[in-house]
Structure formats: C-alpha cells, structure tokens
Amino acid sequence: MDSGPIGDHGFLADGRTAVLVDRAGSVNWWCPLRFDGPSVFGRLLDDDAGHWSIQPEDHFTSERSYLDDTLVLRTVFTTRQGSVAVTDALALEPGARGHDIGLRSPRVLGRVVEGLSGEVPVRLDYRPRFEYGRVTAYLTGQEGVVHATAGGCRLSLRADVPLECGHGDATATFTVRAGQTYRFTLGHAPTYDADPPALPDADRVVADAVAGWRSWADLHADQYRGLFRDEVRHSALILQGMTYRPSGAIVAAATTSLPEEPGGDRNYDYRYVWVRDFSLTLQALWRAACPDEANRQFAWVARAMGRIGDEPVPIMYGVQGERDLTEHPLDHLAGYADSRPVFVGNEAWRQRQSDVLGEILDAAWLMRHYLDPMMPDVRQLLRDLADQAVRNWQRPDAGMWEARDAERHYVSSKVQCWTALDRAVRFGPRLGDQTDVARWAAARDEIREAVLTQGWHERLGAYTGAFGSDKLDASVLLMPLVGFLPADDPRMRSTVRVIERELSHDGLLRRWDGDPAGFVICSFWLVSCLALAGEVDRAHHMFGRLAARANDLGLFAEQIDQATGEQLGNFPQAFSHIGLINAAGRLTEAPERRAAAGQPPASVVRSVKVR
C-alpha cells in the first residue's frame, strides 16, 4: 500500500511541525522536531519509510472534515458492519490560547477512535522509521506503552488496546462497538532524556487543540468581512498552521520533494522560509487576520538577514534563521510516485532573486500603521533593501521561479525592484533623508522606463518573462497587482488576454509554455487582474471554480494538473492559499473601484463553501 494521491491528505499542525494523514487513516508524514527536521513517518516518499494507520479491516468508505475553525481532523469510516470515527490532533500546550498557541507544543499526536454504529473490526499498524526511513527502531513494551528507540530519537505510544511488537513495528486488531472509545497517544522525545515523554490522554490532546485553534480564530473573526469569507478564514488558519511559532517564521510548505510532475525530477524541499513567501503571507494575513504581530515578524526578518551589503539578499532560511541549506539527495527513498531524486535542503538559498526586495517593502508599506513606531533594525533593513534595489536592479537574477540554468533580466524582478523603491519613496523620512528619497525616486523612474520599453514584445502584444525574450511568463501579472501599471492599461489588458489564451486551461494558469501543470497562485493572480480591470463577474466565476479545486478539506498543493485536476507539488502550499486570500480581497474591493471610476456595479456571485 502506498500513500495515495497528494490531495488525499489532511494537514495537522502544532506551531512547530506538521502531520499529513490520508483519507484511509494513515499518518504518512511527521517530522516531530520541526518542519524541516528528519521524518519518523515518511511513507509519502517511500512505502518503507514509516507510517501509522488506524482503519477498518474490511472494505470501507470515508468522509472527513475539520472540526469548525480548527486543524483537528475527524474521519468517519463506514463499512457493512457499522461506522467508526477517528479524530486526529497534534497537541498544543495545555491552556495555550490566541497568539500563544504553538510556542511550546509538546510534540504529541493524539488519535481517538469512536464507535458510531454496529461493530467494526479495526486494525492498527505502527511502523516508525527514523531519519527519513533509514533507521528501523527497536520496540519494547513497558507498562502499557510501546517505546521505539534508535539513535537520538524515541517515540512512545500509549494505546487502549494491547499492541503486539514485531521487528520494528507494532500491530493490533480490535472491535469497536457503538458508544465505545479507544485512545492512542504518541509522543516524541530525545533518547538522552532520562524519562520517557509525558503522554497526555488523547481526549485532552483533542480538547486542548480544539480550544487553542478556536481561540486563534475568534481573535480574527471580524478582521475580514469581504467576499468568500469562509475560504479566506480557512486559508488564514492554514497559513497559521504553517508558522513556526517560536521564531514567527512561515514555511513555504510542509513537505519535501513532492513532484511538480509525477515521475519528474523537479522535486524540491519546501520546508523552509522563503522571504518572498513570508512577505506575501504577511500581506495576506493583513487582509484576513490580525496584523498586530507585524513588528515582531519584521524583526525576525531583520535579525535573520542582518546588515545588507553588496552581496545578494539572502532569499531563504531555516525556521530559526539558518542560512546554509545545502541540498543533498536521499538516494535510499523511491520518491512519491517514483519521482526521484528526493532532496533535503534547497540550493536556491545561493541564488540572487531581486523580486524579494519589493515584496518585503510592499508588505511593510501595507502594515505601516502597525510598524509605528518602527523598530530601528526594521528601519535599517528597509533602507538597506531600497539601496540594494538602486545598486542591483540592472543585474540579471534567477527570478521568482528560481531558474537553475542561467540568470536573466526577468521582468517581474525589475518590477519588484520598482516596487521596493516606490514604497521607500512613500515612506520618505521614516526611512531616509531628502537625498535618499531623491535617489530612490530617480532609480524607480529609470526602472519603469526600462520595463516599458524592453519588457514589451510588439509581435506577441504582451510583456514577456524577460528583456529581449519572446517567452510568456505568468509572473508579469504582478504588474497591476503592485501598482506598476493599471490593469486596464491597453498593453496590460493585451498581456492578460495573451497569457490567458496561451497558458490557461479551464481557469488553471501555467507559469510558462512547458510548465507541466496549472500553478495555483498564478491562477489567482489572473482572477485579481480581471477584477482590477473591471471584469468582475468573470473574475467571480473563475474564483469560485478555483476555490472548488481545493481538496475536500480546503487544502491546495502548489500545482493542479490541467487535465485530471490532480494536486501536484509540495503540500499544503502557502503560496496557493496566499493567492486565494488576496484574490478574494481584490474581488471585494472591485465594486468600490468601479464606483470610484463612475462605472456601474457588477453583479455579486455567491461564495463557494469549502467542501
């Protein structure tokens, strides 16, 4: 048995790490130390890399959902004998509420099995495999707890049923009758701790997780009142679940090496903090959740980056601010759907990606009221980024899609250098003196002229991906989203039409010709451009269709196959949920923009509920 489709997984989080559990009740991914730590369950990448399943023995169907406003998952299994429910939660610190959830999570996974009707035979298979499946643990039973130990790692499993230990695994078969409840608690601790990890009751794990996540949701219940409120609220919760709470860092995804194309080799580790994704997440949460922690989060970026000189701005970090993320393959793993190589680390940390300059300054500008007073290290960071945009905007870079073949003069990178300087000029004396502002403004205007003349391709009737190129690239859709050009500018309208015609299929937009699948955030950028251009009804319809492409738990991977609808790439993907939130916000604002321009209001399309 393998891990099944990427989109079949649910996402649990505790402010430090994530669990992925499929609709068959199998935990197929958990790196208990932190998001980018080694896995103890890794069946997502190899059938022999560890899992923990609880499921009926006979044929079953399953339906699942999150408990309202939480990342606590309930799966109902139905068989011919009856039905049972399995509720899964990663533990939060007991009593932690609001912004404090996840700061000191105990690294415990709780699972509660409830009999709903009839009598259902259930099987438990527990196969921990440490160090990304390299190490088979030694299992011993002691006072109703099974300890799995190897190297520096220990897992302790407490169960309400007897477990039979074998070579590196434990199993149990038990019958669940209506009204009965069985509890299972799994805790992680280093082997150098003298005592085994504390194992709270699984009911308490679930109750604390429910209360903690709901307290966070309640804090932000009234922050966003626009269209598609349910989808926006849910995506904000997912982004919060992808936050490493001790530092405030936000990872790009919970997984490594899930392929952009089954059997392909573009399989990268996304369990790190891209400055781009971090900044765009802050912008999304500015719309959808409480932005009160803006100063703390910008301070994290400032501490991680340090002083910015002439070297390329570091574009990604580990969750605690580490810079060296050297990439290496895990050759012993088969990869998801035989997609090799499997990587830990990501060589993109060495790249120059000039667009990050604009994304950070744009996020700071949006949150300027929450950055008042501005901390000195944040002020210095923003000044340094503006100065680097002046010095380096004419240099080629790897672009936001992290090309590994050659650096180019990417249009989106130039546009985001313009954004950095435009926002720095708007900040004015909060960042620099009159000489600084004049220098920033002059470079900003020079960039604008270069993009308008060198980025436009007359024959195609579109702005292309790089200066002098005839290749289309969806990243140029950022131009109206950052205010570089109005969405109804004739050349911008033509660009949107050409990109939609050549790269879009049924609302799913590829990044370029040859991209294997629709890229979710690009598809939401198209929605935003249409809304800003006044095509509000069509944008509403497209948004609804895109939102419905999430899995049954409202989760998006990075990409979606244009033909099959299969989710592809690392999962869940922050970029995708960022796109949803910001597109919903722009759709909400579109009628006001139309009214301000003296245009008739567009009809309102009802929100599509998260399934």
> With 90 as the cut, is the pLDDT of residue 347 above it?
yes
Chain mean position to CA 98: 21
> With 50 as the cut, is the pLDDT of residue 199 above it?
yes
Structure tokens, 404: 């590994």
Enumerate residues 6+ apart whose C-beta is below 8 A from 41. Answer: 19, 27, 28, 29, 30, 49, 50, 51, 52, 128, 129
Tell me the pLDDT band of 5, cut-offs 50, 70 and 90: very high
> With 90 as the cut, is the pLDDT of residue 312 above it?
no
> pLDDT per residue over 569-590, tens digit each?
999 999 999 999 999 999 999 8
> With 60 as the cut, is the pLDDT of residue 508 above it?
yes
Q: Which region, left, alpha or beta, applies to residue 208 given φ > 0 means left and ψ of -120 to 50 means alpha?
A: alpha
Are 315 and 274 spatial neighbours (Cβ–Cβ below 8 Å)? yes
Least confident of 81-90, 92-101, 136-145, 538-547: 92-101
Per-residue confidence (pLDDT) for residue 604, from 0 to 100: 37
**Ranges of H-type helices in 340-410:** 355-366, 376-392
Percent of the chain with pLDDT strictly greater than 70? 95
Domains and CATH numbers, the chain: 6-215 (2.70.98)
> With 90 as the cut, is the pLDDT of residue 327 above it?
yes
Percent of the chain with pLDDT strictly greater than 90? 81
Number of Cβ within 10 Å of residue 470's Cβ equals: 11
> With 80 as the cut, is the pLDDT of residue 71 above it?
yes
Per-residue confidence (pLDDT) for residue 302, from 0 to 100: 82
Tell me the pLDDT band of 143, cut-offs 50, 70 and 90: confident
> With 60 as the cut, is the pLDDT of residue 337 above it?
yes
Enumerate residues 6+ apart whose C-beta is below 8 A from 609. Answer: 230, 231
Q: Which residue has the higher pLDDT, 290 or 371?
A: 371
Structure tokens, 534: 């006044």
Per-residue confidence (pLDDT) for residue 311, from 0 to 100: 80
Q: Which residue has the higher pLDDT, 194 or 312?
A: 312
Q: Structure pTM?
A: 0.94
Q: Are strands 328-329 and 82-90 parallel, antiparallel or unpaired?
A: unpaired
Per-residue confidence (pLDDT) for residue 566, from 0 to 100: 97
Q: What is the mean pLDDT of the chain?
A: 92
H or E segment to which residue 296 belongs: helix 294-305
Per-residue confidence (pLDDT) for residue 191, from 0 to 100: 85
> With 90 as the cut, is the pLDDT of residue 298 above it?
no
Per-residue confidence (pLDDT) for residue 603, from 0 to 100: 41
Q: Which residue has the higher pLDDT, 194 or 424?
A: 424
Angle at 550 (CA atoms; ends 548, 552), nearest 5 degrees: 95
